[in-house]
């Protein structure tokens, strides 16, 4: 069960970071705008992550903490990608 949870979390985190850089690197949209698009694109991975928690319905403490730290990491990856020399 733990492996399934870790795999779902890793898939969600990878999607968030990859999509933030893909969608935001070549434009000047704000991080908030990019994150709204990323949340939409990574919705299936987020839902799979939520469903992998045994007996914990919805977005509670641990899940929300994961979402926040993942989005923070995605924004950092986006800003690093924008700052990298071309």
For 33, the domain range is: 2-83
pLDDT category of residue 63 using cuts at 50, 70 and 90: confident
Number of structural domains, the chain? 1
Condensed to tens digits (0 to 9), the pLDDT of residues 12-54 reads: 999 999 999 999 988 888 988 999 999 999 999 999 998 888 7
| Four-point Cα dihedral 10, 11, 16, 19, nearest 10 | 140
What are the backbone dihedrals phi and psi of residue 33, each rounded to the nearest 5 degrees, phi first? -65, -45
Condensed to tens digits (0 to 9), the pLDDT of residues 5-14 reads: 999 999 999 9
Specify whether the CB–CB gap between 56 and 34 falls below 8 A. no
DSSP state of 1: -
pLDDT at residue number 57: 62
pLDDT category of residue 59 using cuts at 50, 70 and 90: low
């Amino acid at each position: 069960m733990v492996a399934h949870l870790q795999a779902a979390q890793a898939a969600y985190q990878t999607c968030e970071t990859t999509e933030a850089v893909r969608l935001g690197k070549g434009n000047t949209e704000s991080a908030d705008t990019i994150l709204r698009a990323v949340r939409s694109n990574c919705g299936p991975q987020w839902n799979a992550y939520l469903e992998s928690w045994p007996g914990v319905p919805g977005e509670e403490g641990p899940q929300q903490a994961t979402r926040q730290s993942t989005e923070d990491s995605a924004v950092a990856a986006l800003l690093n990608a924008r700052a990298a020399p071309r």
